[in-house]
Amino acid sequence: MAITTATYLELRPATVQAVLPGADALGFEVATLLLGVVTAVFVLGSPWLLPAVFVLVAVLHRSTLVNELEGAARTDTKPGGSPPTPGTASRISTFCVPNARAPRSPC
């Protein structure tokens, strides 16, 4: 909250919504806070359930990485190219047969 307030005071954006994080970032922050609460409850009440927290942390971390990789896949690194459509990789791997005589093939 302090960072949001400082950003608003420094930049003076046209709207408050320009300073607030998006739905994905806000959901990640809420999930992290809830995970902290669950960890505290498990430490105080039943420490034998703490391995479940590690599983939840791994799932949260994996979902974050998936979102970052999807965002990176959407960006175009080559000028003049277009980003791949969702099924492009599976179509290429389905129809490509590795050829030893053509080392520069996309397969």
Q: What are 45-102's pLDDT values in tens digits?
A: 999 998 999 998 888 888 888 777 877 777 756 665 555 555 555 544 544 555 555 5
Confidence of residue 4 (pLDDT cuts 50, 70, 90): confident
Instruction: Domain ranges for the chain, please list them.
Output: 22-73
* Residue 40 CA from chain centroid, whole number: 25
Q: What pLDDT shows up at residue 37?
A: 94
